[in-house]
Structure 1
């Protein structure tokens, strides 16, 4: 190769390298990870002092149902971490408006300016007063129907189909999403308002729904409660009072995932969190910059210092919230955030 040709080749290499984007963010994605929707920070979950109990002898009033339904938008779980496939890509789904709720598992939506009946896939709910057979009607079913109606009527939603698009009664058979992180079907099962039910071959999420049903049963939530005792894994109301020996504040350091998301989650809790601070822990060097940690050679983990009042929120409750938003079984990543700085 003569000198002019070598110089020209070198110039081409330099120009190609200059055209490459500069990788300065921390979101380095594993090349083996399939492409999909970008995960935004999941909504914070809630912890009920007492799980909802639905009585057998009378339905909830419309006012009671509206008050309870208002809490459903603050989920019991960070579902993106539990659900197969994580968040959904709404651009691939059909958008509709929920026109009316027939009962706990049947809705009417406006589709192409026409009312269309749909059945929520993967679940079944107790029969409400709207059932054509009077012997099948139940007070609990009517309570569920009023809760779902108060929560969903008039909202925009997105339809996801499984193998088949309709059931034997020509109703749309769908998973209904309110946003990329909230599937109506999963919320109803987790809240104890319905039980998982298989409609083969449309069973994409049924194993997942089974796990949500187990959680609801364990807590005695919704239709699974007997109204006599609280079966929740821990009772926040019993955890709030300090022992009398506690100081006014305690501190815990929590590492896992993006520290801004974790910090914001704790800032939104209704009581007990006095102060939060995002930083780094367990690395080498002093005062690392964000860019240095992102390069992955400092050993630091993104960490949040949480200062809390043990008289208002127990350590058990603080940790329960943490494990609702963090998956401790994943190595060096949470959601779409990849790197050893995101390790739990």
Structure 2
């Protein structure tokens, strides 16, 4: 009788432990609403790396997407925004961030003759660049959204930019465009929807919002979930193996798989890069396009990068 009770207790404890492990694992991956087509790696308990590739998905066949999720509530790390006027590749940026685990390129260029005044960048209370372009400028849309965050790199918010940034109390601001999701509303579906338009997009200025966001390109984006997690997103493009996405398609993709509270497109195209610590050959895990090859060497020199450490 005693032996049976001991055996029963052992079985009960074993089941309980197994159940607990399952719940922990599910908790890490619960933010991914549909796991088909995805590979999942845990970089740290609070940092999950999701990789999407599918040849059969009805909506997103031929896409190559990387997403890193960071949970600041675990209190194991923080986010860091790095800025360097002289520009560097993402892998070089990463070498200067002690303890960096993952990172992406960040906002549009600040130090550029024809665009230096369409972005707002504030770091630790100091405005490095302020928006000055009028609403009539071709660049009017490029600071449509902003992410604000605390100096600790543990609390993030993405929303539409104000007319006057001086009224924003946040210590850190990074702008981007377009807004893709605002309080769960997929606003990116209509920002540059070219469906049905009798318009030759090739004739438009490259920075025209319809040409810039209405067609497929490599994309970089950031998102914040209902639980306060930060998502770093890259979409590869300009290659038969990776079609790239329009702003509309990226909005649909994020809503379908992650349903974040808010999301914003940032600098994409040849700037799109994601770095993961320890990945060969150089930490770059997506396929940057500046060398016009489908490999990990075509990094572009950028000014800002966002890391998890």
Query: In proportion to residue count, which structure has more helix?
Result: 1
Same fold (TM over 0.5): no
Of the two structures, which has the highest relative contact order with CA contacts closer than 8 Å and spacing of 6 or more? 2
> Highest Rg: 1 or 2?
1
TM-score by length of 2: 0.30
Query: In proportion to residue count, which structure has more strand?
Result: 2
